[in-house]
Amino acid sequence: MRPVIGIPCYEARRADNQRPLYGNNISYVRAVERAGGLPLLIPPLQDADALVGLADRLDGLLLSGGGDLAPAHYGESPRPECGVPEVERDVTELALARHALLAKLPVLGICRGHQVLNVALGGTLYQDISTALPEARRHDCHDRARDYRAHSIEIEPGSRLAAMLGTRQHAVNSLHHQALHRLGEGVRVLARAEDGIIEAIEVRGHPFALAVQFHPEELAPADEPSQRLFSAFVRACQR
């Protein structure tokens, strides 16, 4: 049986009449589908108990990219550079992430999802890399194509990520202006950019809780190593 992979949605507006919608990028859906999983889009819900019931029926959870988490979730007040929070989405994703961590449900975090996983474990974020770490390189390459390889990452040798990508150095896209700061409980760094920015993590003692700051879903159609990340995730969801 193909494992069901939940992908939480965000709120958007229809271009023609501004009617509100819940959705997510097609690239995540396709990457999971190509890997043999059954993607299931999850809307933000207001009832956290209902969310746990839903999470119990999933075989895996994919936390996608998106806007900035409200800094209140990691005990900070928002700085001017921080984006406008999406309250429902924050609550939904943090509840699902905490449930996946407790229930040992496989979870793959991408970009915002990488940050959600760290915050769910009590970690914090740099609200804006360019103001907090002026020496860092540019990671916010939203003016380039989404598959533009902005920088390389150095991967922890012998790690699960090194096995998936089949390399210790990997050129990645970079579409983020925030980054992990203090690590959450049990979080282990798997990869960093040349400037030290954390680009991948996993959670100790969990069968599969892995997250990356880059966007493998945008590279995967033309890049086998990126697609292998989804294949490994879907395999973990089959157990």
Q: Which residues are annotated as catalytic? A: 111, 215, 217
The CB-of-140 to Mn ion minimum distance in angstroms stands at: 9
In angstroms, the CA 215 to CA 145 distance is 12
Q: Which of 4, 236, 229 minimizes the C-alpha distance to 110?
A: 229
Give the chain's length. 239
The CB-of-92 to Mn ion minimum distance in angstroms stands at: 25
The CB-of-153 to Mn ion minimum distance in angstroms stands at: 8
Nearer to Mn ion, 2 or 149 (CB): 149
Look up tokens 């929070």; give the residue. 85
Nearer to Mn ion, 100 or 175 (CB): 175
**What is the number of other CB atoms lying within 10 angstroms of the CB of residue 185?**
12
The CB-of-166 to Mn ion minimum distance in angstroms stands at: 20
Nearer to Mn ion, 149 or 228 (CB): 149
Interacting residue ranges for Mn ion, rule: CB under 5 A? 139, 174
Residue 194, token pair as written in the block: 């040349």
Residue nearest to Mn ion (CB): 174
Number of alpha carbons in the 13 Å side-chain half-sphere of residue 16: 0
Q: b/e string for 191-223 if b means 16 or more Cβ within 10 A?
A: bbbeeebbbbbbbeebebbbbbbbbbbbbbeeb
Nearer to Mn ion, 92 or 174 (CB): 174
How many Å is the Cα radius of gyration of the chain?
A: 17
